[in-house]
């Protein structure tokens, strides 16, 4: 996987059009903006169940990758040239089963009663399409192990009542109310939020796009050590 580009490639990519995020996830958008990017958001009309059935996939890493690709391709097909389109999809793997967003509050409660005190793997598929220069298309999956606190039934009921877990893959967040219920993460923290920034950079490099060329503003560090 190429991760560096030469000066000529960097110069060519300075005229690149705007990054487009093919996802309605506010957490992904916040993460990209914090890294200096300012993507437009265009939500795909992909039927996730139909895509999974069409490809006949069941393993978590395969499911998230085909869904990320389908979302990116759907949005890219309706855009003019000179855009980079990023599609993402996340799923939690627990006991060999793949879990997306809970269908309702009862499902969220049942899932948390299985998750508490245990660990699962959060898989996020990423697919990046360059609609210019021949329409390059690349993808990969990032996986992060998440360790969950041993919640009481009262805590589970209270968390589900907030409705936060109903809106996210795996029924938990690490950047919201659910952050207190995650005791440790092995791997890329941002991947659990929904988009792995190092992986997106690597995919962009594969397409010949220098990462600084994507910055809308120069990233700054608002915190200081000490």
pLDDT in tens, 56-84: 999 999 999 999 999 999 999 988 888 99
Which 3 state secondary structure label does DSSP give 41?
strand
Instruction: Examine the residue annotation and report whether 89 is marked as an active-site residue of this protein.
Output: yes
User: Is residue 129 domain-resident?
Assistant: yes
Domain at 167, CATH number: 3.90.950.10
User: Is residue 12 domain-resident?
Assistant: yes
Q: What are phi and psi of 220, to 5 degrees?
A: -125, 155
User: Is residue 114 domain-resident?
Assistant: yes
Question: What is the predicted pLDDT for the residue at 218?
Answer: 60
Range picked from 129-133, 153-157, 208-212, 218-222 for highest mean pLDDT: 153-157
Which 3 state secondary structure label does DSSP give 19?
strand
Among 100, 106, 113, 101, which Cα is nearest to 161's?
Answer: 106
Q: Could you read off the pLDDT of 91-142 as tens digits, one per residue? A: 999 999 999 999 999 999 999 999 999 999 999 999 999 998 677 999 999 9
Question: What is the predicted pLDDT for the residue at 13?
Answer: 38
Question: What is the predicted pLDDT for the residue at 50?
Answer: 95
User: Is residue 208 domain-resident?
Assistant: yes
Question: What is the predicted pLDDT for the residue at 95?
Answer: 92
Spatial distance between the Cα atoms of 10 and 4, rounded to a whole number of angstroms: 10
- For the chain, how many structural domains are there in total? 1
Statement: residue 8 has pLDDT above 70 = no
Tokens of 105: 């509050």
Q: How confident is the model at residue 39 (pLDDT cuts 50, 70, 90)?
A: very high
The beta strand positions in 95-136, using DSSP E, are 97-99, 119-130
User: Is residue 81 domain-resident?
Assistant: yes
Statement: residue 32 has pLDDT above 50 = yes
Statement: residue 31 has pLDDT above 50 = yes
Residues in the chain: 226
User: Is residue 67 domain-resident?
Assistant: yes
Q: Could you read off the pLDDT of 150-199 as tens digits, one per residue? A: 999 999 999 999 999 999 999 999 999 999 999 999 999 999 999 999 99
Could you tell me if 171 and 108 are in contact, meaning their C-beta atoms sit under 8 angstroms apart? Answer: yes
Annotated catalytic residue within 74, 89, 130, 188: 89
Question: What is the predicted pLDDT for the residue at 217?
Answer: 66
Spatial distance between the Cα atoms of 111 and 106, rounded to a whole number of angstroms: 9
Could you tell me if 198 and 188 are in contact, meaning their C-beta atoms sit under 8 angstroms apart? Answer: yes
Could you tell me if 71 and 22 are in contact, meaning their C-beta atoms sit under 8 angstroms apart? Answer: yes
Q: Averaged over 83-90, what is the pLDDT?
A: 96
User: Is residue 219 domain-resident?
Assistant: no
Question: What is the predicted pLDDT for the residue at 220?
Answer: 55
pTM here?
0.87
User: Looking at residue 131, what DSSP letter applies?
Assistant: S
Question: What is the predicted pLDDT for the residue at 18?
Answer: 82
Please enumerate in sequence order all residues whose Cβ is within 8 A of that of 6, keeping only pairs 6 or more positions apart, or say none.
none
Spatial distance between the Cα atoms of 51 and 125, rounded to a whole number of angstroms: 14
Structural domain of residue 64, as residue ranges?
7-214
User: Is residue 221 domain-resident?
Assistant: no
């Amino acid at each position: 996987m190429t991760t560096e580009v030469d000066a000529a490639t960097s110069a060519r990519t300075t005229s690149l059009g705007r990054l487009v995020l093919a996802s309605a996830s506010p957490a992904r958008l916040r993460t990209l903006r914090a890294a200096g990017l300012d993507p437009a958001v265009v939500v795909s009309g992909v039927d996730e169940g139909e895509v999974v059935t069409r490809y006949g996939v069941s393993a978590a890493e395969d499911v998230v990758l085909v869904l990320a690709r389908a979302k990116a391709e759907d949005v890219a097909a309706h855009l003019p040239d000179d855009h980079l389109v990023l599609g993402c999809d996340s799923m939690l793997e627990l006991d060999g089963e793949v879990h997306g967003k809970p269908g309702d509050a009862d499902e969220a409660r049942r899932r948390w009663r299985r998750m508490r005190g245990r660990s699962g793997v959060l898989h996020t598929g990423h697919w990046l399409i360059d609609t210019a220069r021949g329409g390059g298309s690349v993808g990969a999956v990032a996986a992060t192990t998440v360790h969950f606190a041993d919640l009481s039934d009262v805590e589970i009921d209270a968390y589900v009542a907030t409705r936060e877990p109903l809106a996210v893959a795996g029924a938990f967040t690490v950047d919201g109310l659910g952050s207190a219920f995650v005791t440790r993460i092995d791997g890329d923290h941002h991947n659990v939020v929904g988009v792995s920034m190092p992986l997106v950079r690597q995919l962009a490099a594969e397409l010949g796009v220098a990462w600084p060329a994507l910055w809308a503003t120069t990233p700054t560090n608002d915190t200081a050590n000490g």
